[in-house]
A and B are shown apart, each in its own frame.
Chain A
Amino acid sequence: MLQLINNNRNFIVSLFFAVMIISPVMVILLSGFQAEIEIWTHIKQYVLPDLVKNTVILIIGVLSTTAVLGISLAWLTSFYDFFGRSIFHRILLLPLAIPAYVMAFIYTGLLDFSGPVQTFIRSTMPSIAPCFPQIRSAWGVIAVISLSIFPYVYLMASSGFRSMGKSMIEASQSLHAGRLSTLFRVTIPMARPWIFGGLILVFMETLADFGAVSVFNYDTFTTGVYKAWYGFFSISAASQLASILVAIVLFIFLTESYFKKKQQFFTKGYEAVTRIKMNRIRSFFAFGFCSIIFGLSFIVPVFQLLFWTITSFKVEIDVHYVTLLKNTIVLGVLGTVFTMGVAIILAYSNRSMGDIKTGIVSKLCLSGYALPGTVLAVGMMGIIAWLDKTLIGMVGIFGGYPISGILKGTLWVLPICYMIRFLTAGYNPVFSNMTRLTSSMDEAARIMKVTGFKLLTKIHLPLIRRGIITGSILVFVEIMKEMPVTLMLRPFGWDTLAVKIFELTSEGEWERAALPAITLVLAGMIPIISLTFLGRNKKQNVITG
């Protein structure tokens, strides 16, 4: 028996977390089976076709836009030297601090018919005013969501490019491959796990988004889930729609791991890439491109928020905001510690075994990122209620105190939910870094009698530190921006900035929501900026090879 456990230790560890993560999802899936047939038939006939079409358009649009933006920006800032590069390389991550739902209400406010831009065009050039495209449409949503999450691809692609070493690229150039040809035939393929990891984050984030699409009144799977719940008050129909989401994600995961099998991406003979200096004209275009993207994704939204904050400051500001900020940060830290702990254990056990069943189980653990937060929270409520009943039964035997609930309405619940929801964001950077650990390194360690837990703490953890820090920051920022789960499961007195933004925007009070929004953005900027300073640490890279 002990032997069996020992042999399957990694599998068992993964399975433990998988059960923990999957159980709320299972609650959802199971209640999906009891769907009220009448409502489901209606949804299938009148609602579903549009949802599928819209969701597919949105996903394809956002994936291709973020891929183009993320890869091109990463390529420019990693391999070339141009005016402003050292600044752009740091600030291009900042849009992550702006939640997609905030970006959405800013851009619809600016560009819709009654907004300042169209009003200005109507008063100055009335003849071209009717040609202005409708922002509340597929392209508008795609643009806004892409602008707020392209930094995922940029971040992952950059770290892939930078840890690549120059030998491959030099080899390609020595074979007279041009710059673009090198990019498409060597650089991008070599950075595939990173780029893939970034795109998967984008994919799941888009699938789960509710805030941004609902500002645009653009119906997707996620809005369908909410509609089934809020409109029909049918949790089972909502669950049925949500289980389709889960199925899609699992399918994508499994195909991905199938294609990734047996590929190794570590390079031998690491040496940092020397950036090529651009000539003036090229430098100008590179600068212009980065400026436009950064301007649209960060400067414009921040200025709009500041402008609104000035007009609403007196109405909105009170001491309450200190508490909101404190709550946001405390929940962020708790959730991050928990999420990253699980992410490291999972990535490690998945990597060192590499067998199929462990792989599948760990993939299951990552599916939470595509679940709309509220759906996850409903599943969680079911679990909590059940656990509480069991626990109260146990406590009752000993004390007989009038305890109404042990888990319910407590802070325990939120970090667990955040972990389920954002594990992917923490796991991917850790796991990508692990693909750089060569199997020969393990063998060398084993010869030196460094095995098991020691291998993890002495050799692997220091090597994947960068992945851990990256993951922690991504998860922290995600949790700060998280709204639906917090809204549903927070204990009394644990309102966050995101909750405040929801309260005000759902009443159409965009100006007043600017104060909590700008506070959230500022609080998110600090960890994101610190993330860019990670790149300076060269020590750890030298070891590879």
Chain B
Amino acid sequence: MKQSVFIVLISIFIFTGYAAASEKELVVYTARKEHLIKDLFEKYEKEHGVKIIYITGKAAVLLQRILSEGSGTNADILLTVDAGNLWQAVQKDILVPVESKILKENIPSHYRDPENRWFGLSVRARTIVYNTNAVKKADLHSYEDLADAKWKNRLLLRTSKKVYNQSLVAMLIATVGEDRTTKIVKGWVTNLAAPPYSSDTKVLEAIAAGQGDVGIVNTYYYGRLMKKNPDLPLAIFWADQDDKGVHVNVSGAGILNHSKNKEEAVRFIEWLSAKDAQKIFADANMEYPVNTQVAPHADVKTWGTFKESTVNLAKAGQLQADAVKLMDKVGYK
């Protein structure tokens, strides 16, 4: 009997992950992948002596974890990709508004929550990519144009289950309305040269191989692929330049209501939005810094400058469910 009590006590000791709230520690739940963020965490640790503990996961899952942990959560910061996810976090009322002059200065207003509950930290552009052997730049115009019959059997897309496409369609609904968006997406589906792919990289590879001539991808996937294989006949085209501008999205962060280290958490996000960290944050994944004072990576610069859509990204979240329904209705898998 004594023995078993002892065993139980020992195992409680071993298994219970008891994390006391200490000032020199920050807990980050991140949907941005470990290999894209780890260096920054380590740098902050070195410079500021604050240990950063993190766990990675899918955005919706992390959100659910925070919700079920309730006030007992150890997490201080939710770091995720796509404004749609950040908007959901706001809806579930887990993020706290932050008043920070530094953040307001560093981050343009359409890249943060209107009520300052989340802040974009890097910008990703989702635009058109084409096969340079098959398409002349002059033939390309806009996302809407890809629904035109001249692209029949030439378009390649990623699955509609990916949040990037859901946000893109949500932003289309926000700018041109539901009816016109339905027509656009329906046109895309009829123009498909192959069933939707499960990743942007696959779309790029298929366009390079000639299965289709045009597609829509996030530019950093293009950057990564070209770095590995610079001879591919692929190029980026900035969509909607005569109109609203390229669809952009962010990866961003917010501080949790139940965080026990809110001040330290604010300092960390401020540090992330400042020059040094911005450079690393964006370059690690060939994205665009959100801080306009910081220049993008040299390779990224070669793709040229573009006009971006300035509709507030909270719209992407608001209209996400509508976008998913719309895509289901026209049979975009």
Contact = CB atoms under 8 A, between A and B. Distances in A.
B321 to A, nearest CB: 5
Closest 6 CB pairs of A and B: A508-B201, A114-B209, A114-B205, A381-B68, A508-B199, A113-B211
Interface string A521-541: 000000000000000000000
A114 B206 contact: yes
Interface stretch (A216-224, A338-346, A353-361): A216-224
Interface of A: 39, 42, 46-47, 108, 112-114, 118-119, 134, 136-137, 214-217, 219, 223, 226-227, 229-233, 235, 374, 377-378, 381-382, 384-385, 388, 392, 402-406, 408-412, 487-488, 490-493, 495, 499, 503-504, 506-508, 510
Contacts of A392: 72
Contact of B209 (A119, A137, A403, A495): A119
A377 B69 CA distance: 13
B161 A503 contact: no
A492 B53 contact: yes
B9 interface: no
Contacts of B33: 503-504, 506-507
Interface string B189-219: 0000011111111100110110100000000
A220 B183 CA distance: 27
Given A411-B17, A508-B199, 20 more contacts: A39-B321, A108-B198, A114-B205, A134-B195, A136-B194, A217-B195, A230-B59, A230-B60, A382-B68, A384-B68, A385-B69, A402-B20, A409-B74, A410-B15, A410-B16, A488-B65, A490-B55, A504-B33, A504-B35, A510-B201
11 contacts: A46-B325, A46-B329, A112-B202, A114-B209, A136-B197, A214-B161, A232-B321, A374-B61, A381-B65, A487-B61, A510-B201
B73 interface: yes
B155 to A, nearest CB: 14
A492 B17 contact: yes
A493 B56 CA distance: 10
Interface string B231-256: 00000000000000000000000000
Interface string B25-60: 001000001111000000000000000011111111
A147 B271 CA distance: 50
A410 B74 CA distance: 12
Contacts of B6: none
A404 B73 contact: yes
Contacts of A411: 14-15, 17
Contacts of A136: 194-195, 197
B132 interface: no
A108 B33 CA distance: 23
A235 B17 contact: no
B17 A47 contact: no
Contacts of A113: 194, 206, 209, 211
Interface residues on B, range: 35 or more
B11 to A, nearest CB: 9
Contacts, number: 137
Interface string B55-88: 1111111011100111011100000000000001
B5 interface: no
A205 to B, nearest CB: 20
Nearest to A388: B72
Contact of A217 (B206, B211, B333): B333
A499 B194 CA distance: 30
A112 B333 contact: no
B161 A114 contact: no
A217 B199 CA distance: 10
Contacts of B16: 406, 410, 412
Contacts of A487: 57-58, 61
A377 B16 CA distance: 19
Contacts of A230: 58-60, 161, 163
A136 B27 CA distance: 40
Contact of A405 (B36, B69, B196, B221): B69
Nearest to A381: B68
A32 B36 CA distance: 37
A325 B25 CA distance: 27
Q: Secondary structure at chain B's binding surface: helix, strand, loop or mixed?
A: helix
A504 B224 CA distance: 13
A54 B74 CA distance: 41
B34 A503 contact: yes
A220 to B, nearest CB: 12
A71 B175 CA distance: 58
Nearest to A136: B195
Most buried by A among B19, B201, B202: B202
B74 A404 contact: yes
Contacts of A404: 19, 21, 72-74
Contact of A233 (B60, B74, B209, B221): B60
A491 B208 contact: no
B324 interface: yes
A230 B74 CA distance: 23
Contacts of A408: 69, 72
A320 to B, nearest CB: 9
B284 to A, nearest CB: 12
Nearest to A488: B61
Most buried by A among B65, B91, B194: B65
Nearest to A403: B18
B142 interface: no
Nearest to A405: B72
B182 interface: no
A491 B74 CA distance: 11
A400 to B, nearest CB: 15
Contacts of B196: 217
B134 to A, nearest CB: 14
B300 to A, nearest CB: 17
A306 to B, nearest CB: 19
A231 B35 CA distance: 25
B61 A231 contact: no
A235 B64 contact: yes
A231 to B, nearest CB: 4
Contacts of B35: 503-504
A310 to B, nearest CB: 14
B153 interface: no
A508 B19 CA distance: 34
Contact of B56 (A223, A402, A503): A503
Contact of A410 (B17, B59, B61, B70): B17
A320 B222 CA distance: 28
